[in-house]
Structure 1
């Protein structure tokens, strides 16, 4: 049986950092027997030589001999051997506490690398909104697939709200509110929207100053019924408008083309119309008012086999969208 003192208090991050620095300085100047030190920490953690033999599969005699070699290398007595087992000396207690932190961090790092390599393989089937997928998400997946050739990726582009479970998807990205309480989800972006129209359209419908002015002029949307535009100005005043939809299409890229052609006013994500605004093909309408942004959310089921892969892809989606917004 091995006896060592147990401290109930949890070390602060600063204390742990100091321990690691001291261990590193000591190690670099006088020490080279890392295997022996690792076995020493295993012996202490197991509670003695016999228990360490069971835990590691290394014979008790070998463990004892390596412990003696470590003591000789350090020229310090680390344990006292008694009839009941071994007891840590003060120097042994100090060495254990400081070296355990370093080995624990090393083991975590190795385990994480091994798990990462094992996890980033396999098949993943995704359903993505067509427009944002074409602009951002698909290029992310292409780069991801190039870095991880053991991952097989299948993408389906769909405007409709697919059923992740019933249709067999591993990961779904949705625009708008999320109501699937049984799924794991992460909001990966909040996309600003703007009201836009062509210069010719605005010339034909001059005098637009307030949200109420939008009610009776042609508008574009992904459907013709149940359309609401929630607007807010810089003073925090809000307005909800039910526009008169004259042209509907379930692809927002079509709505961009329709707006450029002068068919009406559109309420669209900024990333879709940025180029047209820069070129002058479209102009912002009611610049004092901003439509409510659209939330983009990733949803998936808890799965210990594919969970790491899914989270890695979702993180890359979020990073790409963040970088895209930051570059503007």
Structure 2
């Protein structure tokens, strides 16, 4: 059995990833090698573990029984590694993390840099993307999400809130009458964000709210693109305050209706309930929560 422990771990990763290709990407092997490893295990056991088609894989009845045992074994092994890491003076291991692309130059990335300096034996692979990633199928250990969390099947911790502000290109704003109320902006040109609804709630200093519909001729899926097109005076948009401040500092942006507030973006760390490296994940998340808050 000892000779086939690695085969069993590869088999479990294929099941978890739902494909040979995704498992190969996580493990760092070629898809053909992963497929051969599972086939060797099936030959050793004298049983078919997976049904294979060109589109997907599925467990056989024997595969379901075997997978439950193998996953228990691997979970126990990971727990042992986590306990050893907890006892060591210096955390070690590797984590794959996804972060919204627009936060590449934010205080969160600065906190990640601090974490790396403090823990030289921890390797982080950070993917900056504005697309929603799937923790399990995409092979990430931690996902940083900006917005309003809805998942219930994952573990999560709020890291803080991110202020958002309304800005326009300075030349574009100068060509329009000065707005006195959020509804005045419905006649303006908005630069839309694909991951945000067209309507936005504005809150007055007294606490009342008003919903505004922003009409967009141009819609993008990147906050950096929002920044760029606003700088080119194509209209107004909503940006994270740290990103808007960059344009305001150069005089390229004008902040609109500064007395009216916008709902801040919640920033959350999300990870699987049964993390492969639980203690290292928790250490990383707690560090970010302390630094970012």
Q: Do the structures match in fold with TM over 0.5?
A: yes
1:120-135 → structure 2 map (5 Å cutoff): 120-135=91-106
Corresponding residue of 1:318? 289
1:175 is aligned to 2:146: yes
In 2 relative to 1, CA 206–311 (structure 1 residues): closer, same or farther, beyond 3 Å?
Answer: same
Report the TM-score, using the length of structure 2 for normalisation.
Answer: 0.66
1:135-174 → structure 2 map (5 Å cutoff): 135-174=106-145
Aligned residues: 211
1:156-305 → structure 2 map (5 Å cutoff): 156-223=127-194, 226-303=197-274
In 2 relative to 1, CA 118–167 (structure 1 residues): closer, same or farther, beyond 3 Å?
Answer: farther
**SS of the residue aligned with 1:229?**
strand
Structure 1 position 288, deviation (Å): 2.2
- How far apart in 2 are the matches of 1:288 and 1:227? 21
Q: Which runs of 5+ in 2 are unaligned?
A: 1-82
In 2 relative to 1, CA 304–118 (structure 1 residues): closer, same or farther, beyond 3 Å?
Answer: farther
Q: Do the aligned residues in 2 keep the contact of 1:131 with 1:253 (CA within 8 Å)?
A: yes
- How far apart in 1 are the matches of 2:213 and 2:87? 49
**SS of the residue aligned with 1:134?**
coil
Structure 1 position 317, deviation (Å): 2.0
Structure 1 position 304, deviation (Å): 6.6
- How far apart in 2 are the matches of 1:318 and 1:158? 21
1:131-156 Cα distance to aligned partner (Å, 9 max, x none): 11332333333332233232221111
Q: Do the aligned residues in 1 keep the contact of 2:166 with 2:239 (CA within 8 Å)?
A: yes
Structure 1 position 280, deviation (Å): 2.3
1:161-212 Cα distance to aligned partner (Å, 9 max, x none): 1111222210001111212101010111111111111221111111311111
**SS of the residue aligned with 1:212?**
helix
- How far apart in 2 are the matches of 1:115 and 1:304? 15
Q: Do the aligned residues in 2 keep the contact of 1:224 with 1:248 (CA within 8 Å)?
A: no
- How far apart in 1 are the matches of 2:136 and 2:89? 25
- How far apart in 2 are the matches of 1:201 and 1:161? 32
Q: How much is the aligned-residue C-alpha RMSD, in angstroms?
A: 2.4
Report the TM-score, using the length of structure 1 for normalisation.
Answer: 0.59
In 2 relative to 1, CA 250–291 (structure 1 residues): closer, same or farther, beyond 3 Å?
Answer: same
Q: Do the aligned residues in 2 keep the contact of 1:124 with 1:152 (CA within 8 Å)?
A: yes
Q: Do the aligned residues in 1 keep the contact of 2:179 with 2:257 (CA within 8 Å)?
A: yes
Q: Do the aligned residues in 2 keep the contact of 1:246 with 1:264 (CA within 8 Å)?
A: no
- How far apart in 2 are the matches of 1:150 and 1:187? 26
Structure 1 position 316, deviation (Å): 2.4
1:43-81 Cα distance to aligned partner (Å, 9 max, x none): xxxxxxxxxxxxxxxxxxxxxxxxxxxxxxxxxxxxxxx
Corresponding residue of 1:87? none
In 2 relative to 1, CA 142–287 (structure 1 residues): closer, same or farther, beyond 3 Å?
Answer: closer
